[in-house]
Homo-oligomer: A and B are copies of this chain.
Amino acid sequence: MSQLLSLRDRKRAETWAALHAAAARRALDEGLEGVNIEVVAEEAGVSARTFFNYFPCKEDAVLGLKKPSVEPEMLAAFDIEGDLLAEVSRLMLAVVRSIQGGDDSAELRGRIYEAYPQLRHRRYQYILKVEQLVLETVASQLAESRRWREMPANSAWQGHDVDDVAFTIVLTASTRMRHVMQKTWSNPTATAQFQALDQGLELLRDVFKELL
């Protein structure tokens, strides 16, 4: 038998799911205030202290949020030589999406976000973290890229710091994440979100045509 996960990892995943399920159910049944750490922990069969080994706060347990990370398959799909804004935006969206469950639980999450809009702030805060992660990747790859190393002498980027350029691109992509979230709170599926991203990039280009 191939073990996809070790016993330890499997139990950890089970505990995580149990805590999330208990928190989400109580939130939908009794409202956000009805989520009591002690009760949730007991329902999941662990101590209250252990709850905080899995989630930094109640909100994250209700939403089932995980720490963001840039996975190898995301990097593989990323091309620093391509359409930079689109590439970086898609990379960010992939990372942002990975901190939550898949499309199977999208409808449930949609209902939670509709019921408790306060929780949206939490999502925005995570985007700040994602920025940092993606910025490291983009800054290092851009510095090594052909488009930077073989930059034409008349390029508008001439004279700018590569980190400043990467910063600007990543933060611009980040604004598109916010746009995607805003448009897809009630339907956060992959299809809807990547489509919203494309529309957001289109919007961005049109807005800037008149401003720059």
Listed in ascending order, the chain A residues whose CB lies under 8 Å from chain B are: 84-85, 121, 124-125, 128, 155-157, 160, 164-165, 167-169, 171-172, 174-175, 178-179, 182, 203-212
Q: Which of B124, B155, B207 contacts A210 (CB 8 A)?
A: B155
Given A156-B210, A169-B211, A171-B179, 9 more A-B residue pairs with CB atoms under 8 Å apart are: A157-B206, A164-B203, A167-B182, A168-B175, A171-B175, A175-B175, A205-B212, A208-B208, A208-B212
Give A167's nearest chain B residue, CB to CB.
Answer: B179
Q: How far is the CA of A210 from the CA of B178 in the complex (A)?
A: 23
**Chain copies in the assembly?**
2
Give A165's nearest chain B residue, CB to CB.
Answer: B207
B210 to A212, Cβ gap below 8 A? no
Give A175's nearest chain B residue, CB to CB.
Answer: B171
Contacts of A165 in B (CB 8 A): 203, 207
A207 to B168, Cβ gap below 8 A? yes
Contacts of A209 in B (CB 8 A): 156, 212
Q: How far is the CA of A204 from the CA of B125 in the complex (A)?
A: 24
A210 to B171, Cβ gap below 8 A? no
B203 to A160, Cβ gap below 8 A? yes
